[in-house]
Amino acid sequence: MSVLNKPLEGLRVLDFSHTLAGPFATMILSDLGADVIKIESLTGDETREWAPFINGISVYYLSINRGKRSLAIDLKAEEGREIIYRLVEKSHIVFENYRPGVREKLGVDPDKLFSINKNLVYVSIKGFKPNSIYEELPAYDIVIQGLSGLMLSTGFEDQPPIRIPFALFDVFTGMMAVIYALTGLYSSVKPYYAEVYLFDTAVFSMCYLPLIYLLTNRKPMRMGHAHPSIVPYQAFKDSDNKWFIVAAANDRFYQKLCEAIGRRDLAEDSRFKTNPDRVRNRDILVKILEEIFVEKPREYWLNILRKNQVPSAPVYELDEVFRDPYVLGEIVFELKHPRLGSIKQLAQPGMINNNRMYSTRHPPELGENTVEILRELGYSDSEIESLINRNIVKTV
């Protein structure tokens, strides 16, 4: 599929957001063909300064900003805001994640932008609902993971809280923001203003885990890699101290598991005959399986489990993930960067008309596209030079 045929071709998105949730959302839209203009302060998105670095460029920043154009601008200056207002006239979606009160001070609040373009879709990403008891609480990833109950739902009962090592709920919130934004394009409600909250998204995305508590009044146990409702459905260790998954999600798969490992007696044992039986006798069955699986290497077990159609998989280290042929062939791609050469990126997790959707535009340098955007808005070269010299805008 050519770039011109991407489904969001012709859509313009103004991205005032920073850090992760908003930039992740707008990267999705840029991959789908939208013209995303990343509006940055003269010092840039803070993630540009987050380690680790390659030749002075943040890997974190590179991971969530491909496909965009960078406009570095002083929004505190009236002439800076005037540039934005010209862009708003020709745009379709706005994203922002400012702290309470900041967007009003900068003149990019919903009321102001809707007065310029009533058909605008405005999406605001916030940590918590405004005017709630947590309105002023900084919504850092670890704060949200702690408040959501996630950190004391994973791991084991005798362990301290465990943080998921990437900003899981920022990613989920970014995806929700995309849904709300695209919904706005088809909505008859004008103006269309949406708010998406990290904390609410966190609890919502945990799905059945909170509902187990709400409907039974019992906290789910911290079971590490095991499942509260299915047995065996967890990781086991092999003879080389490597781990692999066995996911006998129903009685049929459990029967196949017993056949695969040569233990039909476990299939007929009344303690393990049905999944409720296995859940009740979890500790006994898991101990038996652990003693069996530790006798041979992971590849041996995966081979016979897959031959017998038992859902299973290796538990990879991250370096193993990127040696997996599926990942190398389907998920990783490369694009050209002016300073770094060819850089690896992660593709969108789906296809449209049998084509992966991703932008070939590199993550922009700060202010890299300032001049071209101003020219598109009708600014003359002398006007652009004046704006640069007076620190209203910045270019590379």
* Within-domain flag for 211: no
Q: What are phi and psi of 269, to 5 degrees?
A: -65, 125
Q: Which two tokens stand for residue 125?
A: 């990403």
Tens digits of per-residue pLDDT, 83-109?
A: 999 999 999 999 999 999 999 999 999
* Number of independent structural domains in the chain: 2
Look-up of token digits 């077990």: 301
Point out the domain boundary residue: 286, 314, 342: 314
In a shared domain, residues 35 and 117 = yes
C-alpha pair distances (Å), 48 with each of 44, 58, 134: 7, 5, 28
One-letter amino acid for residue 49 of the chain: E
Tens digits of per-residue pLDDT, 100-137?
A: 999 999 999 999 999 999 999 999 999 999 999 999 99
From 374, 309, 28, select the one nearest 178 (Cα to Cα). Answer: 28
pLDDT class of 228 with cuts at 50, 70, 90: confident
The yes-or-no verdict on residue 379 having pLDDT over 50 is yes
pLDDT for 5 equals 78
* Within-domain flag for 194: yes
In a shared domain, residues 199 and 266 = no
In a shared domain, residues 142 and 97 = yes
In a shared domain, residues 191 and 49 = yes
Tens digits of per-residue pLDDT, 28-83?
A: 999 999 999 999 999 999 999 999 999 999 999 999 999 999 999 999 999 999 99
pLDDT for 263 equals 97
Q: Residues 160-172, buried b or exposed e (16+ Cβ, 10 A)?
A: eebbeeebbbbbb
In a shared domain, residues 375 and 302 = no
In a shared domain, residues 182 and 109 = yes
10 Å CB burial of residue 176 (0-12, 13-18, 19+) is: buried
pLDDT class of 188 with cuts at 50, 70, 90: very high
Look-up of token digits 């919130």: 173
pLDDT for 220 equals 85
Q: What are phi and psi of 15, to 5 degrees?
A: -110, 105
The yes-or-no verdict on residue 1 having pLDDT over 60 is no
In a shared domain, residues 169 and 308 = no
* Within-domain flag for 322: no
In a shared domain, residues 83 and 198 = yes
| Alpha-carbon span 367 to 207, nearest angstrom | 41
From 237, 256, 254, 246, select the one nearest 298 (Cα to Cα). Answer: 237
Q: Are 162 and 150 in contact (CB under 8 A)?
A: no
* Within-domain flag for 38: yes
| Alpha-carbon span 65 to 107, nearest angstrom | 25
- CATH assignment at residue 254: 3.30.1540.10
pLDDT for 3 equals 43
pLDDT above 90 covers what percent of the chain? 95
Between 392 and 228, the higher pLDDT residue: 392
10 Å CB burial of residue 186 (0-12, 13-18, 19+) is: exposed
Q: Which residues are known catalytic residues? A: 170
Q: What is the mean pLDDT of the chain?
A: 96
Three state DSSP letters for the chain: CCHHHCCCCCCEEEECCCCCHHHHHHHHHHHCCCEEEEEECCCCCHHHHCCCEECCEEHHHHHCCCCEEEEEECCCCHHHHHHHHHHHHCCCEEEECCCCCHHHHHCCCHHHHHHHCCCCEEEEEECCCCCCCCCCCCCCHHHHHHHHCHHHCCCECCCCCCCCCCCHHHHHHHHHHHHHHHHHHHCCCCCEEEEEEHHHHHHHHCCHHHHHHHHHCCCCCCECCCCCCCCCEEEEECCCCCEEEEECCCHHHHHHHHHHCCCHHHHHCCCCCCHHHHHHCHHHHHHHHHHHHCCCCHHHHHHHHHHCCCCEEECCCHHHHCCCHHHHHHHEEEEEECCCEEEEEECCCCEECCEECCCCCCCCCCCCCHHHHHHHCCCCHHHHHHHHHCCCEECC
In a shared domain, residues 186 and 111 = yes
Residues with Cβ within 8 Å of residue 331, at least 6 apart in sequence: 346, 347, 349
Tens digits of per-residue pLDDT, 199-218?
A: 999 999 999 899 999 999 99
Tens digits of per-residue pLDDT, 274-329?
A: 999 999 999 999 999 999 999 999 999 999 999 999 999 999 999 999 999 999 99
| Alpha-carbon span 118 to 267, nearest angstrom | 65
Tens digits of per-residue pLDDT, 252-261?
A: 999 999 999 9
Domain range for 281:
233-237+243-314
In a shared domain, residues 171 and 256 = no
The yes-or-no verdict on residue 4 having pLDDT over 90 is no
pLDDT above 70 covers what percent of the chain? 99
In a shared domain, residues 307 and 346 = no
pLDDT for 2 equals 39
